[in-house]
């Protein structure tokens, strides 16, 4: 068998070596650029996911405030949006855990805005309290202002008392 051996000169070999190094450098450069762009892309994706999660939670807060388990309906006069019945919340205190999966939230609470230090409501101190913790948990909290209404008694009879409050929902950041 006859073999053809090509004999490049030393100069030719150097040129080939230069070319090989150049090609490796170009490939490395583009690989680094790709890694850099991917890092930027993924960081913005995470940011977008966080924004979407927060928007979802805000919508969920409004949805929960206007759900039959929370809303005032016409119990305190005309129907209003974002009106929460505190009497229902007190009833729900022991059973709210059942709703954790139903609403897909981590924690849920309502706190009056005007009052000072936190005074958690229970069957003994209600309505002389300012915070109703329905579901206790951790996570990123999102809140919205609502009217918190309940029936109150006085010498002249029963009347409706509504106060400004904030409903706070926290969700698990995935």
Partner 1 sequence: MCFSEDGCDISVDGNNRFVEKNETRMYFDDDSLMYGAIFSDPVVYECQLDRLMARTEKLSQIYLSKISLISSTGCESDLDSDLVYLREFANGFDDSRDLISAISKIENIGNRNEDAHCKLW
What is the binding site for partner 1 (CB under 8 A)? 68-69, 71-75, 85, 87-88, 90-92, 95, 98, 151-153, 157-158
Q: From the CB of 157, what's the least distance to partner 1, in Å?
A: 6
Q: Measure the CA–CA gap between 83 and 60, rounded to whole angstroms.
A: 15
Alpha-carbon torsion (109, 110, 114, 120), positive or negative: negative
Q: From the CB of 81, what's the least distance to partner 1, in Å?
A: 15
Q: Which is nearer to partner 1, 142 or 147 (CB)?
A: 147
Q: From the CB of 44, what's the least distance to partner 1, in Å?
A: 38
The DSSP letter of residue 126 is T
Neighbours of 170 (CB within 10 A): 20
Q: Which is nearer to partner 1, 110 or 142 (CB)?
A: 110
SS3 of 134, please? strand
Q: Which is nearer to partner 1, 57 or 92 (CB)?
A: 92
Numbers of helices and strands, H then E, in the chain: 3, 5
Q: From the CB of 134, what's the least distance to partner 1, in Å?
A: 12
């Amino acid at each position: 068998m006859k073999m053809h051996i090509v004999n490049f000169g030393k100069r030719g070999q150097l040129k080939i070596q230069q070319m090989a190094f150049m090609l490796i450098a170009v490939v490395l450069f583009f690989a680094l650029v790709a890694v850099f762009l991917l890092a930027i892309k993924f960081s913005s994706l995470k940011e977008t996911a966080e924004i979407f999660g927060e928007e979802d939670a805000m919508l969920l807060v409004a949805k929960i405030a206007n759900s039959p388990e929370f809303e005032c309906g016409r119990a305190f006069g005309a129907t209003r949006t974002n009106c929460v019945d505190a009497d229902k919340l007190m009833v729900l205190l022991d059973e709210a855990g059942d709703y954790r999966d139903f609403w897909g939230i981590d924690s849920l609470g309502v706190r009056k805005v005007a009052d000072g230090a936190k005074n958690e409501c229970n069957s003994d101190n209600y309505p002389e309290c300012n915070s109703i913790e329905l579901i206790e948990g951790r996570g990123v909290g999102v809140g919205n202002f609502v009217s918190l209404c309940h029936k109150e008694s006085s010498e002249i009879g029963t009347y409706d008392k509504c106060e400004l409050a904030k409903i706070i929902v926290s969700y698990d950041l995935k």
